[in-house]
Chains A and B, each alone.
Chain A
């Protein structure tokens, strides 16, 4: 079942922070985050594995609450280059090591000067 992302869209000024949420109704093994710029392929940002870990990538970090089947992506001090559509991809706990991901519908982030 497709995870639900919120918000659907967000507009920021440079330097502002944003949080994107991803929620699933299924027990999860992992959550992936990807960014896609218009007309391009999605690009892998990070993976969070079962265990409730938090990871960071420059000014972009994420958390994973395994019990609630929720993940959040944190973008701090946003830059123009952060603009794009962000997708979470969830791997269910019973995926039998197929690595197959179910993606959310995406959150469009626009950073203005």
Chain B
């Protein structure tokens, strides 16, 4: 009964490097979301997906790309990491979007130096 699994849990990148964060859910949820959490700013939506093969921009999409090739996986990519992308990244999934709460993954702590 894993729920939402994020990998890796921690990562340190140098400025300009690229990486992909993986989010996997085993609850057959349609909707998936990527948020970043910074001190005092709550959670801000980066990108989201309302189903396999679909993605859309959230509040803070610049510098990130996403893909949802399989229903259970939602990938977040950083093409050229910047120090401003130092943050804790949370993935969440929801059964059908409206009327259901989110299940969050345990987060990825990313530091860009």
Listed in ascending order, the chain A residues whose CB lies under 8 Å from chain B are 2, 29-30, 32, 34, 40-44, 46-47, 49, 87, 89, 91, 95, 97-106
Q: Of B48, B90, B101, which one neighbours A98 at CB under 8 angstroms?
A: B48
- Complex contacts, B103 vs chain A, CB 8 Å: 44
| B113 on interface, CB distance cutoff 8 Å | no
Distance of B74 from chain A, by nearest CB (Å) = 14
Distance of B71 from chain A, by nearest CB (Å) = 15
Chain B interface residue count, Cβ-Cβ cutoff 8 angstroms: 28
- Complex contacts, A40 vs chain B, CB 8 Å: 106
| Chain B, interface SS category | loop
| B61 on interface, CB distance cutoff 8 Å | no
Q: Is the CB of A2 within 8 A of B42?
A: yes
Least CB separation from B103: chain A residue: A44
Q: Number of A-B pairs whose CB atoms are under 8 Å? A: 69
Bound-state CA distance A57–B104 (Å) is 19
Distance of B41 from chain A, by nearest CB (Å) = 6
Q: Of B31, B35, B58, B99, which one neighbours A30 at CB under 8 angstroms?
A: B99
Given A44-B103, A91-B98, A98-B97, 14 further pairs, Cβ under 8 A: A2-B42, A32-B102, A41-B90, A41-B105, A42-B90, A42-B104, A47-B99, A89-B43, A97-B97, A98-B50, A98-B56, A99-B100, A103-B43, A105-B42
Q: Is the CB of A105 within 8 A of B41?
A: yes
Contact with A along B22-48 (1 / 0, CB 8 A): 000000000101010000111111001
Q: Is the CB of B98 within 8 A of A101?
A: no
12 A-B pairs whose Cβ atoms sit less than 8 Å apart in the complex = A30-B98, A30-B99, A32-B102, A42-B90, A47-B101, A87-B42, A89-B43, A99-B31, A101-B45, A103-B35, A103-B44, A106-B42
Q: Is the CB of A104 within 8 A of B99?
A: no
